[in-house]
Amino acid sequence: MAIPAALKHLVDILQIMIDMIMVGMVSVQALAAVGMSMQFMMVVNVLMTLYVVGGNALISRFIGQGRKKRASALLYSLGIFAFILSLFVAVGGYFGSESLYALMGAEPEVVHQGGLFFGILACGMPLIFLDTLFYNALSAAGDTKSSLYIKLLAAALNAFLNYVFIFGHFGFEAHGIEGAAYATLIAYMFSVVAYLFLLKNPYSKLTFIPIIRIKDLIKAWHVGWSAALERGISSLSFLLFVAIIAYYGTAELAGYQVGLRIEGIAFMPGFGFAIAAMALVGQNLGANNKERAFAMGVISGRVAYVFMGFVGACLIFFPEFLVSFFTKDAQTIQVASTYLILVGLAQIPLALVFVYSAALRGAGATKITLYVSVASLWIFRVIPSYIAYNMGFGIIAIFVIMNVETLIKGVIFWYIYQKRRWLDTEI
């Protein structure tokens, strides 16, 4: 389960990298705008968490209990809810895109470029919401291979359309940053259509059964609201953190965004084993096998921090080489390289955060992850970063604070997981 999920995440990262490499050829302002849009998508993910995490916890338990029909009916219900919810986000994102960038303190040209990019992206929110739901639901049911194949084709389509629309080839005009947004939406449309065909197959691990069970929806929301609140406060924390970095200047902001995208490669094994841990913990709890549920998280964590530790070493020893693919601006390269060296040291505790928090969510213990994540981010990251900025410390101090917070949070999640009280969580 973990390997296809990890590879799918790698393709996600490569797709974002290709977007940023091509957009970076337009201007550094366009590069910063696309990078900041990823922070706004974190806010959108808050709403998706409302149905994704609770849906995952319930679907995995239903599958563990051998109740495929009920899991499929829940997926149908969640699909309708996700589509309706996405329409509100699409309207708000389309009309408020420039205001979001201005609120973050971006320079006028970054605000203009960002408004063009995110305004178009907002029109495809229904596609993004459904794509996220289908991927997570299939993963919870134990099918990560299908999503990998769909993502490979979608990413290839996205890269080709980037080349066509951004720079103007095969008779099309050069649309710059707007072309990147068009390419992204078409790729999402392809993914959703592919998922719909897959879910019509009766031999798929999940299908569509047109039954709406309000009771199951309420259960999913009951689990999901804590996860959504956690992600909401966390997203606000990250936005404030990025805003602090933006005050240092465009080069610092662009360097942070480039470094963050490269670091995403290190997330690959951690993300894959987090998905596996979430699904397998839920399925084994559904089968009333608590010892095996606990073991799934432990095994996932061990393998994840070995792989992430290895990738972290690559970040430490080859930072400038990796950054050079994204930009030739000397100051941006310097900032991004410093970021990669520091975060390379934090990959092992980050693996613990990924896997153990995901396992807790798979068990439905979303209140625990809420308390830990919110307290850690504010007490150990946002507030110290704000103080460091006002005291005149450089950007390196901000990156160090970020790493210390990751280490503390990883230790806390490890301790909670070992206590095993979360195994008794009821949905």
Tell me the residue range of the domain where 400 lies.
2-424
100 vs 342: CA distance, rounded Å? 29
The predicted-structure confidence for 12-61, as pLDDT tens digits, reads as follows: 877 877 777 787 777 777 777 776 677 677 778 888 888 888 888 889 88
Q: Indicate the number of domains in the chain.
A: 1
Q: What is the pLDDT of residues 318-327, one digit of tens each?
A: 888 888 877 7
Q: Which amino acid is at 389?
A: Y
Write down the pLDDT at residue 39: 67
Q: Report whether 268 contacts 13 (CB < 8 A).
A: yes
Mean pLDDT, residues 77-103 taken together: 83
Q: Looking at residue 195, what is its pLDDT?
A: 93
> Do the Cβ atoms of 5 and 271 come closer than 8 Å?
yes
Residue found by looking up tokens 């309420």 in the block: 218
Q: Assess contact for 1 and 284: CB atoms under 8 A.
A: no
How many helices (H) and strands (E) the chain has is answered by: 16, 0
More confident residue, 354 or 18: 354
Element (H, E) at 198: helix 177-199
CA 245 from chain centre, in angstroms, equals 20
Asked if 60 and 286 count as a contact pair (C-beta separation under 8 A), the reply is yes
CA nearest to 158, candidates 30, 18, 34? 18
Mean pLDDT along residues 148-171: 86
Contact yes or no for 357/344 (Cβ under 8 A): no
pLDDT over threshold 80, residue 329: no
Residue 3: the pLDDT is 82
- Give the whole-number percent of the chain exceeding pLDDT 70: 96
Cβ within 8 Å of residue 92, ≥6 positions away: 122
pTM of the model: 0.79
**What is the distance between the alpha carbons of residues 122 and 126, in angstroms, rounded to a whole number?**
9
Using CA atoms, how far apart are residues 228 and 73, in angstroms rounded to an integer? 22
Say what angle helices 28-64 and 347-362 make with each other, to 10 degrees: 40
The average pLDDT across 295-316 equals 87
Helices (H), 200-249: 214-246
Higher pLDDT, 347 or 21: 347
* CA 186/CA 135 separation, integer angstroms: 17
Helix, strand or coil, per DSSP, at residue 94 = helix
More confident residue, 18 or 124: 124
